[in-house]
Amino acid sequence: MKTYDTWLAKLRKRAQPSGALSQWAEILSRKQGGDTGMWREHLREILEQEEKASLDLILDLDLITAPAIEKESPDKQIPLW
């Protein structure tokens, strides 16, 4: 499944910084229940392709790992006159 593989490759890149899996596991435990250790192990299994992520988990991980969008501050607006 090409789209799943593409998503997984992006997730692996986002998981590279130290502590990323622990942060994700903490957020998932609060959102979906369970403990952080269980989520950390589950995420490792997904990253190592031992298991496939459910659609709900894919959506949650996309929300958790999406890069922050910088909003322009009001000071950066171009004056109209």
Per-residue pLDDT tens for 13-55?
A: 999 998 999 999 999 999 999 999 999 999 999 999 999 999 9
| Residue 46 CB coordination number (10 Å) | 20
Per-residue pLDDT tens for 63-73?
A: 998 877 776 66
Instruction: Name the pLDDT band for 3 (thresholds 50, 70, 90).
Output: very high
Q: What is the pLDDT of residue 38?
A: 95
Q: What is the pLDDT of residue 28?
A: 94
The ranges assigned to domains in the chain are: 2-66
Q: Please tell me the pTM assigned to this model.
A: 0.77
